[in-house]
Structure 1
Amino acid sequence: MPYLFEEDVPETDVMFDIDVPEHWAQYDLSGDSLAEMRSRALERYGNRPEDADALNDLFTDIAQVTGDATGSGLVSAAGTFEEYDDGFFMANVCVFVFPSGRGENALDPLKLVEHVYPASATAREGTWLRKTTVDLAESGLGRCGRIYGITDYDTDEAIVRTVAMHTAFEYPDLNKRIMVSCTSPNSREAEEVLDLFDAITGTARFWEREVNPGR
């Protein structure tokens, strides 16, 4: 899921990349594409009412995250819908870019995440949300801020329980901040899902390439 920044120094492009499983789909984030993807998923997997509800809940979650946190731009997203004998596994990974600002005007992506989750998101038994830091030194990123847990989102018709992990990154001298947001409705497998999200996020990296003067 590579992303090329538009406001780079003349000599180099600063790139951000993160690896997702090869069989996951890369999303076209236009409204038409999301609607088409939802329609295909319901046609293929929505034969039982509970499965259709789960799919609708997932797309509601995608729309919620996108709508609440794309003020500065959702730049990349990928996800999966996998069918097993005992049910489905669904998940998505989104990459957001925010201006970093300076001093009191600095934008903290994790504060935006906290704003997305009202008190009701962790009011019920089985829900929780923690804010911490994670060491991604192996990726050259050092310590990064992270919020993760199990939350509830109230819709008009149902309560959607979601496993979530949001991790914020910075790159020296680049006036941008990156947030990788991972979500899944598979709350019964929360420990395994969080391990997967941690592994995916751990592949995040910035890198530079020389600008081609002829482009």
Structure 2
Amino acid sequence: MEQATQTPGRFVLNVPDSWAELDVTGEALAETRAAAMAAARNFREQAEINDLFRQAREISRAARRRGALFAAGTATMFDDGLFLGYTMVFAISVPPGRELTLPVLAAQLSPAPASGPGTAPRSGNGGEPSDRKVTTVTLPEIGQVARITGTEETPLTAEDSVRMLTMHTVVPVPGTERDYLIITCASPNLPLRAEVYELFDAISGTFRFLPAAAPAGA
């Protein structure tokens, strides 16, 4: 899927065929919810499914509010349950006189929530999730970039939040010194940590820039 950017022009990020650009009011998502509800074994599972789809709606709205350049997601029923996943791309620019350091970026990507039942485990260092890792990875079409992973408490509304596995991949925009694109992947399926991060790594690895499209009639 391609989305426009000012510099260098466009980017491409491939997602699985079962994913679609986030539109949680769409017919496809309604069908998935109906199938999941039909497969639920009891009222508790139905309530959990309803809560997951409510989270999906709020995540879609939050992506639009934050100005996502691209957002895609999936709600897919498997034999062992429902999988929810999201991928978004955001643009950030560092003001003159300031530097984008990894500690600052990590803090901005996931502000510490208020304490309370169900919050993600946090270290005693700056309120960061205790499982947060800051590493570097090599994207095939880009080169070496920074990556931040961890279990984060993601706010949905002023009252509600949800724990999610997250992966943020920080891509400098070529030809600029202060512009970056952030590929953010997230899923509330915490027990599938290894599989989720493997999927997110594969999705992020498809990211590449394209030249700006030629003007019409050129």
TM range (shorter): 0.7 to 0.9
2:35 to 28, 44, 51: 44
1:188 aligned to which of 182, 187, 191: 191
Q: Which residue of 1 is the match for residue 4 of structure 2?
A: 4
Distance 1:141 1:130 in 2: 22
Q: Does 1:84 align with 2:104?
A: no
Distance change in 2, residues 1:64/1:87 (3 Å): closer
Matched residue of 1:67: which SS? helix
Q: What is the SS of the residue equivalent to 1:132?
A: strand
Aligned partner of 2:89 in structure 1 is 95
In the TM superposition, structure 1's runs of 4+ consecutive aligned residues that sit over 6 Å from their partners are 154-159
* Unmatched 5+ stretches in structure 2: 123-128
Per the normalisation by structure 1, the TM-score is 0.73
The 1:134–1:166 alpha-carbon spacing in structure 2 relative to 1, beyond 3 Å, is same
Q: Is the 8 A contact 2:133 2:150 kept in 1?
A: no
Instruction: Name the CA shift for 1:200/1:183 in 2 (closer, same or farther; >3 Å).
Output: same
Cα shift at 1:136: 1.8
2:125 — aligned with what?
none
RMSD: 3.4
2:132 to 130, 133, 147: 130
2:112 matches 1:111: no
Counterpart check, 1:23 vs 2:18? yes
CA contact (8 A) 2:21 2:73 kept: yes
The answer as to whether partners of 1:42 and 1:52 remain within 8 angstroms in 2 is: no
Residue 197 of structure 1 corresponds to 200
CA distance in 2, matches of 1:122, 1:181: 18
User: TM-score, structure 2 length as denominator?
Assistant: 0.72
Q: Identify the structure with the greater helix proportion.
A: 1
CA contact (8 A) 1:46 1:52 kept: no
Deviation at 1:201, TM superposition (A): 0.9
Paired letter, 1:199: A
Check whether the contact 2:151–2:166 (CA below 8 A) recurs between aligned residues.
Answer: yes
1:34 aligns with: 24
| CA positional deviation for 1:64 | 4.8
1:169-188 aligned within 5 A: 169-174=171-176, 176-188=179-191
Partners of 2:11 and 2:154 lie apart in 1 by: 30
In structure 2, do the counterparts of structure 1 residues 207 and 57 end up closer, same or farther at CA, with 3 Å as the change threshold? Answer: same
Aligned residues: 200
Q: CA deviation at 1:187?
A: 1.0
Q: CA deviation at 1:197?
A: 0.7
Match of 2:144 in 1: 142
Partner of 1:63: 58
Distance in 1 between residues matched to 2:33 and 2:70, nearest whole Å: 23
Asked if 2 retains the 8 angstrom alpha-carbon contact of 1:129 and 1:151, the reply is no
Distance 1:137-1:62 versus aligned 2 partners, 3 A rule: same
Structure 1 residue 170 displacement after superposition: 0.9
Counting aligned pairs with the same residue, the percent is 26
Aligned letter for 1:93? T
Distance 1:180 1:59, change over 3 A: farther
Q: For each residue in 1:3-26, what CA deviation from the matched residue of structure 2 results, as whole angstroms up to 9, or x when unmatched?
A: 212x35xxxx52111111122122
**Alignment partner, residue 165 of structure 1:** 167
The residue identity in structure 1 corresponding to 2:25 is A
